[in-house]
Chain A
């Protein structure tokens, strides 16, 4: 049973359908083991946006406040897409490399240990 309802075949309204975001899709981005940022960020971006643009035009501004950001080399970051290892193609559109509406992108930088080496 997909819901305990008093009427048969009750269907809920899917409130966060792609169609509701006016041409954007949601992408969540997080820097693993950098808990200065308490949770992943939610970005509305066009599916046609390139991965490179997501990094430079969207993510950089948000993550740049971290004291380790200057040492961050995007080309060395390791990525997970929806929990699976992922090698991004910088000039390819998000939608053409499997980054879909409400996908989670996490990047890991094992050599950067966070503020005071405390994963912050």
Chain B
């Protein structure tokens, strides 16, 4: 009785503001016998100048006790819905079994990056001299851990019924296309704490996150996947906080010292470019993998970057920040990259951990309508060719491994944007070795820090060095990637996924 009384009284005495200050700013202390520089050794080497940490505005105004309570409530709701999904055979409600391949891509490509985000924020949540920034990053770190857990739980429902979900944690840093998101985060996490926050907190979470989140979550809603939709709702309020943190860090760095401006601009240029390259996978998912389409990649880019991002960069102009360096190029790329990417996956469908397929005739028409300038001219003929080969019983799979870009690690599939029939080649020689890039953006990034990117773990080169088992591709897929070869990979047509679906639905 006494104990209860004491707690209630204490709680009454503290205003929200006081509680907030006790649970965040008050967790710091003055260093009387240690040098602060030794305590925060990573704060200066990036060249960022912080003159006054107290100017950091806490973006969340959230204390740990409130945080736990709020997150626990969301968790309860989420797991109740996941239980219902399992009991009611929710997997049978998806629009088309092809849809499930979009969430195979999500689980293998995105969820492990939630974990890397968790690790990255936990790391930088130790590194800043300002306690406000540390606490904000620690909370985001916990959010990200929760994201990977809840995503895995949501998608584990599908693992009971479909192929390709079983070895995501093994695949994430081994498979040729998954090294793209994985190396993106490795790059950010091996940078200093300020670059990490500009990379992930600002460029990714603030500027580009809608292009990742909205497509997958709306895609789930449009295609009857309640498990993923529910996860999306449960993460939404976190994402709002993450975006606020991303914006706060940019404004804080720019206001602290004018010398920070060119450094921040360079990071924005770099991470915008890396982010858009990464989002190629999302563009392809939207245009080709969702049986019920939400919007085209091009439309999404226009709404979420050109309009929203345009307004943001207008706002940042007062600090001397300009639009990311290659924004004008990406405006052209929106017409092409999703088509170039899906063709790459289709022609490498024997080596992908999900199924690929030729778009249906209705889907081809939808693509023509959404891409009137480019689809019929450049991309429809590829599908006509694929259809012809398939009809002849010669479904096309390439016979050798592709060359990769050293920086983004994507196969060299992108064309010159003013000549969409010509692959773009960029290269450089550094210390006697030649390096190749898909674009000027990727080459710039290499040039700025060659000693970092000479270390790129390029899956194709690793296979050819014999570091991934083998000798043949089939053994790499089964023994190193842990694919169930013949079930996880190859065309949707004739796959075990498709056969089971037909049985459940009672169609021949």
- Is chain B found bound to chain A in the same assembly? yes
Q: Taking A6-B192, A118-B378, A118-B381 as contacts, is the C-beta distance between A15 and B403 under 8 angstroms?
A: no
| A40 to chain B: closest residue by CB | B403
Identify which of B348, B398, B415, B457 contacts A62 (C-beta below 8 A): B398
**CB of A75 closer than 8 Å to a CB of B:** no
Looking across the interface, which residue of chain B has its beta carbon closest to that of A14? B454
B381 touches A115 (CB 8 A): yes
Q: Which of A5, A15, A61, A103 contacts B457 (CB 8 A)?
A: A15
Contacts of A28 in B (CB 8 A): 403, 436
Judging by beta carbons under 8 Å apart, are B412 and A39 in contact? yes
Task: Report whether A16 and B192 are in contact in the complex, using a CB–CB cutoff of 8 Å.
Answer: no
Q: How distant is the Cα of A12 from the Cα of B452 in the complex, in angstroms?
A: 6
Tell me whether chain A's interface is mostly helix, strand or loop, or mixed.
loop
Q: Complex Cα distance A102/B464, Å?
A: 12
Cβ of B382: which chain A residues have Cβ within 8 Å of it? 35-36, 115, 118, 120
Q: Which residues of B259-280 have CB atoms within 8 Å of chain A's CB atoms?
A: none
Q: Give the docked Cα–Cα distance between A81 and B423 (Å).
A: 15
Contacts of A39 in B (CB 8 A): 344, 402-403, 411-413, 423
| B47 closest partner in A (C-beta) | A4
B142, CB-defined interface residue at 8 Å: no
Chain B's closest residue to A32 (CB) is B422
> Interface code B441-484, partner A: CB below 8 Å = 1, 0 otherwise?
00000000111111111101100111000000000000000000
> Within 8 Å of chain A (Cβ to Cβ): is B303?
no
> What is the CA–CA distance of A17 and B461 in the complex, to the nearest angstrom?
10
Q: What's the Cα separation between A67 and B382 when bound, in Å?
A: 12
A15 touches B454 (CB 8 A): yes
Q: Report the number of A-B residue pairs with Cβ-Cβ less than 8 Å.
A: 151
User: Across the interface, do A120 and B381 meet the contact criterion of CB distance under 8 Å?
Assistant: yes
Report Cα–Cα, A58/B421, bound state, in Å. 25
Chain B residues within 8 Å of A41, by CB: 398, 400-403
- Which residue of the partner chain, among B41, B434, B453, contacts A103 with CB atoms under 8 Å? B434
Give complex CA distance A115, B452 in Å.
Answer: 41
The stretch among A18-26, A49-57, A89-97 that forms the contact with chain B is A18-26
What residues of A have a CB within 8 angstroms of the CB of B42 in the complex? 6
| Complex: chain A residue closest to B344, CB-CB | A38
| Chain B residues, Cβ within 8 Å of A22 | 465-466
Q: Is A44 an interface residue (CB 8 A)?
A: yes
Supposing A39-B423, A104-B436, A116-B384 touch, asked if A44 and B464 sit within 8 A by C-beta, the answer is: yes
User: When the two chains form the complex, which single residue of A36, A62, A83, A102 contacts B385, counting CB atoms closer than 8 Å?
Assistant: A36
Q: Does B340 contact A (CB under 8 A)?
A: yes
- Contacting B at CB under 8 A, from A36-95, are 36-44, 61-62, 65, 67, 82-83
Contact of B347 with A by CB under 8 A: yes
A21 touches B464 (CB 8 A): yes
> Can you name the residue of chain A whose Cβ is closest to the Cβ of B421?
A119
Residue of B nearest to A20 (CB): B465
Chain A contact patch, size range: 35 or more
A15-B406 Cα distance, complex, nearest whole Å: 11
Assess whether A13 is in contact with B340, with CB atoms less than 8 Å apart: no
B418 at the interface (CB under 8 A from A): no
Check A3–B450 contact: CB distance below 8 A. Answer: yes
* Inter-chain contact B425/A104, CB cutoff 8 Å: yes
* Assembled-state Cα–Cα distance A116/B378 (Å): 11
Q: Mark B427-447, 1 if CB is under 8 A from A, else 0.
A: 100010111100000000000
Q: Which residues of A contact B404 (CB under 8 A)?
A: 42
- A12 x B455 contact (CB < 8 A): yes
| A44 and B460 alpha carbons, distance in the complex (Å) | 11
State the Cβ distance, B272 to closest chain A Cβ, in Å: 18
A79: min CB distance to chain B, Å: 14
A6 / chain B contacts, CB cutoff of 8 Å: 41-42, 45, 192
Q: Which of A10, A13, A33, A40 has the most CB of B within 10 A?
A: A40
Q: What's the Cα separation between A36 and B382 when bound, in Å?
A: 7
Is B400's CB under 8 angstroms from A62's CB?
yes
Choice from A14, A65, A120 contacting B433 with Cβ under 8 Å: A14
Say yes or no: is B343 at the interface (Cβ < 8 Å to chain A).
yes
B55 CB to closest chain A CB (Å) equals 25
A40 with B455, Cβ < 8 A, contacts A30-B423, A103-B434 known: no
Chain B residues near A101: list those with CB within 8 A: 433-434
**Chain B residues within CB distance 8 Å of chain A:** 41-42, 45-47, 191-192, 195, 340, 343-344, 347-348, 377-378, 381-382, 384-385, 394, 396, 398-404, 411-413, 415, 421-423, 425, 427, 431, 433-436, 449-458, 460-461, 464-466
5 A-B pairs whose Cβ atoms sit less than 8 Å apart in the complex: A13-B455, A16-B433, A28-B403, A42-B460, A42-B461
Apart from the given pairs A39-B403, A104-B427, A120-B381, 14 other A-B contacts in the complex at a CB distance below 8 Å = A3-B449, A3-B450, A11-B451, A14-B455, A16-B433, A21-B464, A32-B423, A38-B398, A38-B411, A39-B412, A43-B400, A65-B399, A102-B435, A104-B436
